[in-house]
Amino acid sequence: MGRDIIDLIWRHTITPIAMKNPFSIFIQALGKGQRGSRDLTLVEAEQAMSLILSGQVEPEQLGAFLMLMRVEEETPEELAGFVKASRTSLNVPDSFPLVSLDWAAYAGKRRQLPWFVLSALLLSQQGIKTLMHGANVEGRLCAEDALASLGIMACTSVLQANQQLNTQDFAYLPLEVLSPRLKNLLELKSLLGLRSPMHSVVRMLNPAAAATTMIGIFHPGYDVCHQAAALILGDENLAVFKGEGGDAERNPDSLCTVHMLSGGKTFEESWPALFAQRHVKDEKMDVSRLAQLWRGEISDDYARQTVIATAAIALRAMGRAKDIEQAMVIASAYWQQRNPETLGVTVVPAKNRIGSVALVGAGPGDPDLLTIRALRLIKSAEVLVYDNLVAPAIVNMSRAEKIFVGKQRDKHTLPQDAINNLLVRLAQEGKRVVRLKGGDPFIFGRGGEEIETLAGHSIPFEVVPGITAASGVAAYAGIPLTHRDHAQSCVFVTGHLKDGSMDLDWDALSRPHQTVVVYMGLLGVETLCVQLIAHGMSSNTPAALVQQGTTINQRVLVGTLKTLPAIVLREQPRAPTLIIVGGVVSLREKLDWYQPRSTNH
């Protein structure tokens, strides 16, 4: 029906003359009737918003454009284009600090107090730099007023926000300071009488390019649109959900579906209701209760659970909790740790914070083989504890404090027990630790031993798998680990055990139609070959030793079980190495593809 009316207006008011203003083509695309109209592309949406923000659009055109968008509602591509242009228009200095959490606050509250401001402050006290931005809405209690009641005034310039984030880990930046033009566009709702796409755009501004964004919506469907738009824009992390009143605040009375984006993947989580019965509307809306709750002067289960549950969603979105339950546990601990006598952004001493440890697989050597999740954690770490097998280029991706704990055979910088204890100590000091290991942490990486210790001390941890050497190195050597003509199974073993011996299940390893991959077997290559032959494997079985696979120093030595020891003795390869035994090695001559001339291949 709406399109029919627009089509009628179009046909009776637009004369067939050339359109002089370039913006007219976008109105035409949106409003040319049921059969002729279409959505804007990503590029068109960006161009249209750029013209609007630069003042090249007539008022009549702007009104028509916004209302045409309102009829069909913005698509994810249109929203992404609008946001891209809006972000480009912001005047944010390059010196802006690294912000962890972006928090949009544009709805205002009229049923319950804006408890979410306490959630944001709770996180900032744990050293999580949080930039909140928003706008006041007539007739509602908004974030700016709530923060003022706590003694935290809105920043009057981007420079002030910069300074406050550096010193206090929290700042509130009003939209009129961030972008007066966007504020004017947002306020057109009172003139036009309807919501416009600008309400979605400002929520996604993320002016400091924070790794994680918290967005609340009110109208159904916009959560999915925000999620899809963030994916198109290449944003890192996002949590968007129907918040209490439309702000990013968890309503503990209801089931909450949180639409998330993490590592280029979108997913949903259902956060269960925390109360059996709904709470009534707060008729007084006494903003002084925010400070009273923080100081412990009042008891309010609804308010406390709102603060904790909202902070938990943020923690989950940032990847600091592996699931909903752990996020709630950490957020509850943060609430218990707060200083009731101190309001605002006074930071909790690091020694009193709860830290965490991420065991991250760095892959076999080539930095391009890092997972997206690994890269994000490396860049956001406060302390990087890394091994000898991690490529220097990967270590240099982090600005964190770096601690080397590498091991070589019989040369350990720190014994394993000391490394375990180091991780516990750093986490207990409130540090965000990345334990970076070559390959995969759970394949001959002693990751299991380390997280046993962390679990025993109740330290929050997560594990990020990496491409293990067997997979990465074999691929770069042109040796498939399985092949229908040669091997139907594959076995990984370590070349030396905990006591330094090479006492393996030789009968199992000598089975036919099987590929055997040996980690850390350089010094035991002769023993390996002799034992496999002695237990029934043919001496002519193809075998290869790969030196420093996937790097510019990769070398592949190919022979048989009979000849490989002599080849290794002659060529003197350097660790780390990987040994591959089985018929698949014979395919290398045909499948060899990697030429290790540089790291940029």
> Strand 577-581 to strand 489-494: parallel, antiparallel, or no bridges (unpaired)?
unpaired
- The secondary structure element, H or E, covering residue 436 is strand 432-437
Flag whether pLDDT at 8 surpasses 60: no
The strands making up 401-404's β-sheet, listed across from edge to edge, are 401-404, 383-386, 432-437, 356-361, 461-464
Cross-strand bridge partners of residue 264 = none
- The secondary structure element, H or E, covering residue 423 is helix 416-428
Closest CA to 265 of 317, 223, 322: 317
- The residue behind tokens 């109208």 is 219
Residue 360: strand, helix, or coil: strand
pLDDT tens string 435-483: 999 999 999 888 889 999 998 988 888 999 999 999 999 999 999 999 9
Residues 6+ apart with CB under 8 A from 14: none
**Residue 493, CA distances (Å) to 98, 171, 559 in order:** 42, 53, 20
Band of the pLDDT at 327, cuts 50, 70, 90?
A: very high
Report the pLDDT value the prediction gives residue 14, as an integer from 0 to 100.
41
**Residue 212, CA distances (Å) to 99, 199, 347 in order:** 9, 19, 20
Residue 586: strand, helix, or coil: helix
- Which one of 247, 366, 387, 440 is the catalytic residue? 387
Q: Flag whether the pTM goes above 0.75.
A: no
Report the pLDDT value the prediction gives residue 16, as an integer from 0 to 100.
40
Q: What CA–CA distance (Å, rounded) separates 87 from 205?
A: 6
Positive or negative: CA dihedral 544, 545, 550, 551? negative
> Strand 130-134 to strand 170-174: parallel, antiparallel, or no bridges (unpaired)?
parallel
407 catalytic residue (yes or no): yes
- The secondary structure element, H or E, covering residue 476 is helix 469-476
Quick one: average pLDDT of 305-327? 96
Tokens, residue 584: 């698949």
Question: Which stretches of 304-431 are assigned E, i.e. beta strand?
Answer: 356-361, 383-386, 401-404, 407-408, 411-412
Compute the mean pLDDT over every residue in the chain, rounded to the nearest whole number. Answer: 89
pLDDT tens string 512-568: 999 999 998 998 999 999 999 999 999 999 999 999 999 999 999 999 999 999 999
Higher pLDDT, 260 or 139: 260
Q: Output the furthest CA–CA distance in the chain (Å, rounded).
A: 94
Q: What CA–CA distance (Å, rounded) separates 276 from 318?
A: 29
**Amino acid identity, position 530:** V
- φ/ψ region of 125 (left if φ > 0, alpha if ψ in -120 to 50, else beta) reads alpha
Quick one: average pLDDT of 245-250? 95
Alpha-helical regions (H) of 338-391:
372-380
Report the pLDDT value the prediction gives residue 36, as an integer from 0 to 100.
85
Report the pLDDT value the prediction gives residue 497, as an integer from 0 to 100.
57
Closest CA to 62 of 197, 219, 229: 197
The percentage of the chain sitting over the pLDDT mark of 70, rounded to a whole number, equals 91
Number of H helices, E strands in the chain: 26, 19
- Which one of 32, 183, 379, 407 is the catalytic residue? 407
- The secondary structure element, H or E, covering residue 566 is helix 564-571
Ordered by where they begin, the domains of the chain are 2-72 (no CATH), 101-337 (3.40.1030.10), 355-467 (3.40.1010.10), 470-591 (3.30.950.10)
Flag whether pLDDT at 588 surpasses 90: yes
DSSP 141: B
Quick one: average pLDDT of 296-316? 96
Residue 209: alpha-carbon gap to chain centroid = 12
Q: What CA–CA distance (Å, rounded) separates 435 from 447?
A: 9
User: What is the phi/psi pair of residue 97, to 5°?
Assistant: -65, 165
**Amino acid identity, position 473:** V
Tokens, residue 377: 């954690």
pLDDT tens string 164-183: 888 889 999 999 999 999 99
User: What is the phi/psi pair of residue 303, to 5°?
Assistant: -65, -45
Quick one: average pLDDT of 371-381? 87
Band of the pLDDT at 93, cuts 50, 70, 90?
A: confident
DSSP 244: G
Residue 213: strand, helix, or coil: strand
Check if the beta carbon of residue 375 is closer than 8 Å to that of residue 416.
no
> Strand 265-271 to strand 212-217: parallel, antiparallel, or no bridges (unpaired)?
unpaired
Flag whether pLDDT at 580 surpasses 50: yes
pLDDT tens string 382-439: 899 999 889 999 999 988 899 999 866 555 567 888 999 999 999 888 888 999 999 9
Per-residue b or e along 258-280, where b marks 16 or more CB atoms closer than 10 Å to that residue's CB: bbbbbeeeeeebebeebeeeebe
CB-based burial label for 27 (10 Å; 0-12, 13-18, 19+): buried
pLDDT tens string 27-80: 999 988 778 889 999 999 999 999 999 999 999 999 999 999 988 889 999 999
Quick one: average pLDDT of 359-366? 94
Check if the beta carbon of residue 140 is closer than 8 Å to that of residue 108.
yes
Q: Give the range among 72-81, 109-118, 273-282, 401-410 with minimum mean pLDDT.
A: 401-410
The percentage of the chain sitting over the pLDDT mark of 90, rounded to a whole number, equals 71
Band of the pLDDT at 1, cuts 50, 70, 90?
A: very low
498 catalytic residue (yes or no): no
**Amino acid identity, position 513:** H
